[in-house]
Amino acid sequence: MGEDTRSARIRTATSGFLASAMRNAAHYKVVCKSTTTTVVNVFDKTVISAKGQATSWVRFDNPHPGANYPHINVNYKISGVRDPHTKISKLHLKAIGVTGKALQKLNEAAPLLTAAAVTADAYRISKAATEDFSNGTTRNTVSEVATVAGTWAGGYAAASW
């Protein structure tokens, strides 16, 4: 694989990842250590409470009275599943805490990173258009626009699953 192909694949994967990150940041809010027992709390921004706040969708909790083991809580109103206080190991809870911190930071950075990626894509499209204008063709522009559109659409669709 040539360097240009490798760079293009990395660029495409990065843009797709950022499209997913932006969609998730718009839909979910991740909060770490929101209480003494909660390690990670994921809020669904599309389900607003009576107080006008995003609704907690899933929580990962330390042991507490009533559930003396690390566990997962789910919101019945969002999931349609009664909260079974699903037991998890301490190791899983620790891994979820680390992952939650990373997702919380990614959600905070997603708008800026997405703006940078869109700017880079716009530059690549304009560069292809300039080259095509010089050569009297359209193939580079068409190819670049298709790649950019497909990448962002794929990333957005992947975040929907």
Give 17-54 pLDDT, tens digit per residue. 888 888 888 899 999 987 789 999 999 999 998 999 99
Q: Name the average pLDDT for the chain.
A: 89
- 3-class state of residue 59 by DSSP: strand
DSSP characters over 33-45: S-SSSEEEEEEEE
Per-residue confidence (pLDDT) for residue 14, from 0 to 100 = 84
Cα–Cα distances in Å, from 138 out to 9, 78, 107, 160?
A: 22, 48, 37, 33
How many structural domains is the chain composed of?
A: 1
Specify the pLDDT at position 149: 92
The residues near 76 (Cβ < 8 Å, ≥ 6 apart) are 82, 83
Domain span at residue 23 reads: 3-160
